[in-house]
Amino acid sequence: MNPETNSYTTAGGIASRLLKSIPGVIDYELARSFTPARIAMFTLMVLIPTALMIAVANLTPQRVRNEQEASIAFCLLLFFLIPQILTTLGMLVLASPIVHAELEGQSWLYSLIRYQGRRALLLGKYIVAVLWTTCAGILSASIAIPFLPLQDPLKTWGTISLLCVLSSIAYGALFSLIGVIFQKRVMVIAFIYALVAEGLLAWIPAVINQFTISYRLRSILFRWLGLSVEKYFSSDGMVRNGMVASDPTGWAQIGWVLGISAGLLLLALILIERIQYSFQSEL
Amino acid sequence: MALSGSVENLFEFRNLSLMYGTVIGVNDLELSLPKGAYALIGPNGAGKSTLIGLITGALRPTLGSLQVLGENPLATRRLQERIGVCPATELLVHGVTSLQWLVLLLRMSGWSRMLAKERALEVLEQVGLQDAKDRHIHTYSLGMRQRCKLAQAIAHRPEFLILDEPFNGLDPVGRHQMTELLVQWAKAGKSLLLASHVLHEVEQVTDSFMLIFGGRLLASGTAGELRRLLADLPQDIVVQSETRDRLASLLAEKPWIRAVHRDSIPNRLVLTVDRPMELYETLSLWVSSGQVSIERITGSDGDISTLFRLLISRHRGERAYQNPGAHR
């Protein structure tokens, strides 16, 4: 038995032991992350959006490169390719199979029979997925931005980097929850959800889009880069009520994203303790 | 075997059942056992792993309830600290060494990095993997992976060790080492549940058995108790007698004789007997009165495998429990 503590029942004791367990999972997951396959995936995650943006920048006629509209268009392209596509796909691949990978590798039972095994596994893997994806996003933005015709590259880099972090945190929590709920075809389910909710519903100018992560991230982008929603999206006035991006301050939006992420993670933590997974072929 | 509760039993099952849809995993188990070493014997698919899943809290019973070491495994996770489990499933961990893996599992139990590493090294030495501690687990032989699984089960110093088919994949030396380790564990007064379908291996570790088949507990008890049970069950008995024909005709009249078979070997009879104890008493009377002579009686050897075969046959509703070819 653990010689360091015998505190099982108090909330403080449980939390303290969980906090001790999580770094163990992070260490372990990072140690086994540096495989050729994972490094190749990371490289592709970084290089594909970077190459696309640089290619588009090179194809942009010189006469429009210095105009403000070009700068804004590249800001939107950065946002679309990095905090939206790269981090979403990265978290889809890394966070959604949190439980499924353990079940398939027949290692789930070993976590199951540890005092804080399930919770530590979920949170540890989630943190590692956020670290990998955030690093890929920020690195991609860092490589691409010097080649793009931006009016304020430093501010754009800061905003995109922050959005990468927020996007990874939020999509990671969302896909972790999906991964906890579904045991089979979890990546397909997560992909369909991302496509329908975050890709489609988020752009529908109705109240429903305000419940999507994409909408909140977009609002932060517009607010922090001082973009006018009406100017770029309102051909028919539909954005007046904040249907493409909302009015509250960037900090309020950050609070919303972090709050919803915490809620999703909490739900995942509750469910992972309660769901009975089939972990042995003969069961 | 004690069936009544003590201050803190190893486990108590109350009408414990688990269904996988329409398939029965465990069927209405009612049992209470004090702390000690037990073997859970049953063929593949008998419900051993399901029962272990229930004991560890990995599975939720459909009906009934259970307590392990005085606690409900579903209600409290602190029980995990007191239990070590070595599952039957293959260890398929990739890209990590056994040391890294053990440190992870200990840290999941709340151990600090330093203590976890110290303990992991200690336990790897205990199972004989100290020289391979920095090798990736997926490069291990089957026997090494089995020992690695055992190491994680005992690493956090549990008081109750559960092993599901621990001898799978072990060579004779490995089997001997595993047996020695388990014998020492039991001798140290710690509790043990050893699930296996290989009888002679578990007999070396403990003489308390639970026989399970089709999710039902067929019998439980010590080897002696089970042998007494065996004596009351129909079984084959081989008798060597120079008065074979006379003996056969006498036996054929007895109601508890199910079949008498003249063997191809001279002077040998194979009997299928409903109540073996009555046969032994009757034979001793006939021998002392000089009616027959008997050179040798070879009954069921009293081993658990015979009992198990009998119980399964009875459970399946087979008429001839032992020797389908036997006939009168």
| pLDDT (tens digit per residue) in A33-88 | 888 888 999 999 999 999 999 999 988 887 777 777 888 889 999 999 999 999 99
Nearest chain A CA: its distance from B149 CA (Å): 9
Is the pLDDT score of A3 beyond 80? no
Which residue among B59, B100, B113 places its CB closest to the CB of A31? Answer: B100
Residue B131 corresponds to which amino acid? D
**Taking a C-beta distance cutoff of 8 angstroms, is the pair A214, A202 a contact?**
yes
Is the pLDDT score of B321 beyond 50? no
Q: Answer whether B53 touches A (CB < 8 Å).
A: yes
Which residue intervals of chain B are DSSP H helices? 48-56, 98-108, 113-126, 142-155, 172-187, 199-203, 223-231, 244-252, 276-288, 304-316
CB contact set of B24 (below 8 Å; sequence gap of 6+): B17, B18, B47, B214, B215
Average pLDDT of B136-162? Answer: 92
pLDDT tens-digit map of B68-88: 999 998 887 778 889 999 998
Q: Has residue A280 been placed in a domain?
A: no
Q: Has residue A281 been placed in a domain?
A: no
Q: Do B107 and A115 touch (CB under 8 A)?
A: no
Q: Answer whether A2 touches B (CB < 8 Å).
A: yes
Domain locations in chain B as residue ranges: 11-228, 232-316
**Taking a C-beta distance cutoff of 8 angstroms, is the pair B192, A37 a contact?**
no
Domain count, chain A: 1
Q: Which structure tokens are listed for A17? A: 């032991």
Instruction: With beta carbons under 8 A apart, name residues in chain B contacting A280.
Output: 49, 53, 87-89
Instruction: Look up the domain containing A70 and give its range.
Output: 11-274
Measured between CA atoms, the residue of chain B closest to residue A28 is: B104
Q: B232-316 in CATH: which number?
A: 3.30.70.920
Q: Has residue A6 been placed in a domain?
A: no
Q: Which residue has the higher pLDDT, A250 or B213?
A: B213
Instruction: With beta carbons under 8 A apart, name residues in chain A contacting B60.
Output: 276
Average pLDDT of B259-272? Answer: 87
Q: Which among B11, B137, B47, B118 has a CA at the least distance from the CA of A110?
A: B137
How much of chain A is in helix, strand and coil states, percent to nearest 5? 75, 0, 25
Alpha carbon separation from A19 to A14, A123, A146, B183, B187 (Å, rounded): 9, 10, 40, 37, 37
CB-count burial class (<10 Å; 0-12, 13-18, 19+) for A63: exposed
Q: Answer whether B252 touches A (CB < 8 Å).
A: no
- For residue B61, is it left (φ>0), alpha (ψ between -120 and 50) or beta? beta
Q: Has residue A129 been placed in a domain?
A: yes
Q: Which among B163, B56, B117, B145 has a CA at the least distance from the CA of A115?
A: B56
Is the pLDDT score of A282 beyond 70? no
Q: B11-228 in CATH: which number?
A: 3.40.50.300
DSSP A207: G
Is the pLDDT score of B326 beyond 60? no
Q: Answer whether B24 touches A (CB < 8 Å).
A: no
Percent of chain B with pLDDT over 90: 32
pLDDT tens-digit map of A170-196: 999 999 999 999 988 999 999 999 999
Nearest chain A CA: its distance from B235 CA (Å): 32
3-class SS of residue B24: strand
Which residue among B84, B89, B110 places its CB closest to the CB of A115? Answer: B110
Q: Has residue A2 been placed in a domain?
A: no
Residue A229 has a pLDDT of 59
Residue B328 has a pLDDT of 32
